Structure 1
Amino acid sequence: MKKRISLYVRSVLTFLRIVITKIFNIKGFHSAFIQDFSITTKISVTERGKILLKKHIHTKRNVILCAEGGTLEIGEGCFFNNGCMAVAKERITIGNRAAFGPNVLIYDHDHDISSAESIHDSGYKTSPVVIGDDVWIGANTVILRGTVIGRDCVVGAGSVLKGVYPAGSVIVQKRTENIYEKGRVSG
């Protein structure tokens, strides 16, 4: 009974959040009303960005979905675990039923440090990110601009991705083992 009441309260709060976000971002925010967002999920649309959310998206605590001038499109039935963040300055497209472990970061931009004296004045280089249907991304993964992950891929925890990964791939980056002895590191 207590769990049912909690689910009801969270559903009402999610509905209210979607309505309020829509009121303040009439042109830049489109969402199905059937969502399950944590109360700490942050949705931000700035600089004429757009966020497009299909139905049945589930977020845990401290998830950030941000369109800073770009478009963030998330498919039906996606799951974002604690601490995930997606920031779109150009375009991030996530397919249906994608699942993200804790602390997954998705960026479609990098600082363009080649032409500036200071990182604060650098501007950005952007390239779209595309994540296919039924993709599973492990914890602490960083997905960088220009990345395409095909449908049915599995990404191992702690990966840093940039490039094109074909459908059905299992992506695990090589790790080295560190052994700590008397203040020294060897591997």
Structure 2
Amino acid sequence: MAKYYSKWEKALGRWRALRLSLVNRQIHPKAEIICSHLYGTDKIAIGERSWLYYCRVRVSSHSKYIHIGARTKVECNAFLNAHKGYITIGSRCFVGPNVIIQGFGGVEIGNHVMIAGNTFISSSNHIFEGVPADEFLDREEGAKVVIHDDVWIGSNVTITAGVEIGPRCVIGAGSVVTRSIPAGSVAVGAPAKVVKSIPL
């Protein structure tokens, strides 16, 4: 752990989690929140021994919640934004640097999921057809993204709204996932296609 942050930062992170846990019982006092920005702490849950390192977690007043399980790591510059919806991340997960997760239509991530750096997960689309240009940014529709247990997502992957990735899948680096991926699959490419099966 020392390679990530100093003893002082570690102690400060533990103290901050303990202080927040006194106000919000959904934040475990043994979590570590190190130099991270949390907006809407009353709607955020963080499990035991999870640590957030120089990242942002945002739940606005019109959003639902963000729940992070136990022993999950969220790396530097990651941005979890509930954006009128919700995000759930299971236990023993890894969210790499610069990962963006947008929860407008809901994002559900299981246990033991690894998400490498610079990945973008979006649960919404803008409505373009038949919409005046000045209204385009305001017209948005959500579709839930589900990532099941034991999934490994490579770096620079984009996962679009409405996608479901089955258990024990691998998504190759740089892939664009526009359709659901069945359990036990290796998928690569843009758009991502299944190239191999993994024994379940």
**TM-score after normalising by structure 2:** 0.76
Q: 1:154 aligns with which of 154, 159, 170?
A: 170
| 2:56 aligned with 1:42 | yes
**Structure-2 separation of matches of 1:62 and 1:141:** 16
Provide the secondary structure at the position in 2 that maps to 1:110: strand
Larger CA Rg, structure 1 vs 2: 1
**Percent of matched pairs sharing the same residue:** 26
**Structure-1 separation of matches of 2:146 and 2:97:** 21
CA contact (8 A) 2:49 2:70 kept: yes
Deviation at 1:163, TM superposition (A): 1.6
The runs of 5 or more residues in structure 2 that have no matched partner are 25-38, 192-200
Give RMSD over aligned pairs. 2.8
**Post-superposition CA distance 1:135-159 (Å, at most 9, x none):** 0001100000000000110000001
**Hey, what does 1:6 align to over in structure 2?**
6
**Hey, what does 1:88 align to over in structure 2?**
103
**Post-superposition CA distance 1:38-96 (Å, at most 9, x none):** 1x210000123210111111122100011011110000011011110101012100000
The runs of 5 or more residues in structure 1 that have no matched partner are 176-187
**Hey, what does 1:178 align to over in structure 2?**
none
**Structure-2 separation of matches of 1:18 and 1:91:** 28
Provide the secondary structure at the position in 2 that maps to 1:90: coil
CA contact (8 A) 1:10 1:36 kept: no
**Structure-2 separation of matches of 1:174 and 1:158:** 8
**Hey, what does 1:127 align to over in structure 2?**
143
> After superposition, where does 1:56-135 map in structure 2 within 5 Å?
56-118=71-133, 120-135=136-151
Aligned residues: 174
| 2:45 aligned with 1:30 | yes
**Structure-2 separation of matches of 1:11 and 1:98:** 27
**TM-score after normalising by structure 1:** 0.81
**Structure-2 separation of matches of 1:4 and 1:92:** 28
